[in-house]
Amino acid sequence: MMDFIPLSVPNFEGNERKYVEDAVKQGWVSTGGAYITKLEKMLAEFLHVENVAACQSGTSALHLSLIECGVGPDDVVIVPTLTFIAAVNPVRYQFANPVFMDCDESLCMDPIKLQEFCEKECDFHEGMLTYKGKLVKAVVVVHVFGNMADMERIMDTARRYHLKVIEDATEALGTKYTAGKYAGKYAGTIGDYGAFSFNGNKIITTGGGGAVTARYCTSVDHLRYLSTQAKDDPHYYIHKEIGYNYRMTNLQAAVGVAQMEMLDEFIRRKQKNYDLYQTLFADAPYVQLKSFREDTNSNKWFYSLEIDKIRVNLSMREIIMRLQKEKVQTRAIWGLIHEQKPYEDSLTYKMEKAPYYSGCILNIPASTNLAEEDIQYVSGTVKKVLGRFF
């Protein structure tokens, strides 16, 4: 009998226990310790950047980036609607206004509509872009499911209109361009700031946790300073800025160091499993495994099926529940953020593809510890369930 196959679970087959026990033995379990420094160094070396600051979560990394961008009350930040809500909430933490942008076929922000919005809906005068009288400060770009957004076009638009770019690479650690202007550059290292997440379902995990990098090394130092309550004096409690309790713990970092040692192998497995899924779904005319951008090497964090809802007469909830009964955990894509109650009065721009994808994308099991027989069972079960209603 096949065991239940979860959507995405962490993989602890390395030195996690050894390093955590070492951190406990040393007594460094809070927001200081050698493992934090080591994890930051490993991330910087992997991403080919000068400096990385480990922090509490991907959300905190995004919030710190917005602060560093100078985003404040009544400013405008352009954001995607097809993403997890944590990518947008930090905009409201700063009392700023999100404007929601549509996605393209990659599920990431549509760069053409971004350019059109800036050109046709905004005013650009004396180096400042304004929308309805409010200053447009930044763009938050999410690399959805490990697929790279079209950063070349997005960066061209951002530079033209003096906008800061925050890359939400929380799902894309290890994804990089292989061709074009940014060949060799990793997700999170092209814009002005890059945020990463080590939540339990990410390609590597620290339980919680995240990290942030920036174009300039000194900016990362300042982000690290803000994340540790902006403490200016090691002996007295002197603070010159508003700080945050956003620092990663040494225990989390100990897990992260072990996970970083496995990252290349995890990416290899993700890519191998994706290729197998692609082969197994090739004969199903009512479902298509979404591809990743051709000019990139993706970490293939999540696998997405695009279901032909005209041919398959089932709601997404019915599909998920039927697969659950067959011991396969799946997930619909997120509810569009501009339709959520906290954002239902926010401004949107030309929503076309995002509403379509929100109704037909199904995520299937993608853990790095999946066996070949697991993948065969998942694909066979999906085809069996959907094929009945084809």
How many angstroms separate the CA atoms of 2 and 246, rounded? 41
How many angstroms separate the CA atoms of 222 and 230, rounded? 9
Q: Strand, helix or coil at 81?
A: coil
145 in the Ramachandran plot: left (φ > 0), alpha (ψ -120 to 50) or beta? left
Q: Strand, helix or coil at 331?
A: strand
Structure tokens at 280: 């197994």
What pLDDT score does 387 carry?
85
How many angstroms separate the CA atoms of 109 and 149, rounded? 7
- For the domain 263-387, what is the CATH code? 3.90.1150.10
Burial of 45 (0-12, 13-18, 19+ CB in 10 A): exposed
Phi, psi of 125, rounded to the nearest 5 degrees = -145, 130
**3-state helix/strand/coil string of 334-389:** CCCHHHCHHHCCCEEECCCHHHHHHCCEEEECCCCCCCHHHHHHHHHHHHHHHHCC
- Residue 174 clears pLDDT 70, i.e. is over it: yes
- Residue 269 clears pLDDT 80, i.e. is over it: yes
Kindly state the average pLDDT of the residues 140-153: 98
Domains of the chain, by residue range, sit at 16-259, 263-387
Residues listed for the chain: 390
Kindly state the average pLDDT of the residues 119-147: 97
How many angstroms separate the CA atoms of 78 and 91, rounded? 10
How many angstroms separate the CA atoms of 322 and 314, rounded? 10
**3-state helix/strand/coil string of 244-297:** CECECCHHHHHHHHHHHHHHHHHHHHHHHHHHHHHHHCCCCCCEEECCCCCCEE
Q: Report pLDDT digits (tens) over 27-62.
A: 999 988 999 999 999 999 999 999 999 999 999 999
Which residue is it, tokens 């995004």? 62
Measured over the CA atoms of residue 141, residue 182, residue 179 and residue 160, the dihedral's sign is positive
16-259 topology per CATH:
Aspartate Aminotransferase; domain 2 (3.40.640)
Q: Strand, helix or coil at 233?
A: coil
CA angle 89, 221, 140 (to 5 degrees): 30
Kindly state the average pLDDT of the residues 182-202: 97
Phi, psi of 50, rounded to the nearest 5 degrees = -75, -35
Q: What is the mean pLDDT of the chain?
A: 96
Percent of the residues in the chain that have a pLDDT greater than 90, as a whole number: 95
Kindly state the average pLDDT of the residues 8-27: 97
Measured over the CA atoms of residue 280, residue 283, residue 288 and residue 294, the dihedral's sign is positive
207: nearest Cα among 254, 163, 167:
254
Cβ-contact 157, 151 below 8 angstroms: no
Cβ-contact 229, 32 below 8 angstroms: no
Residue 377 pLDDT level (bands cut at 50, 70, 90): very high
Burial of 118 (0-12, 13-18, 19+ CB in 10 A): buried
User: What pTM was estimated for this model as a whole?
Assistant: 0.96
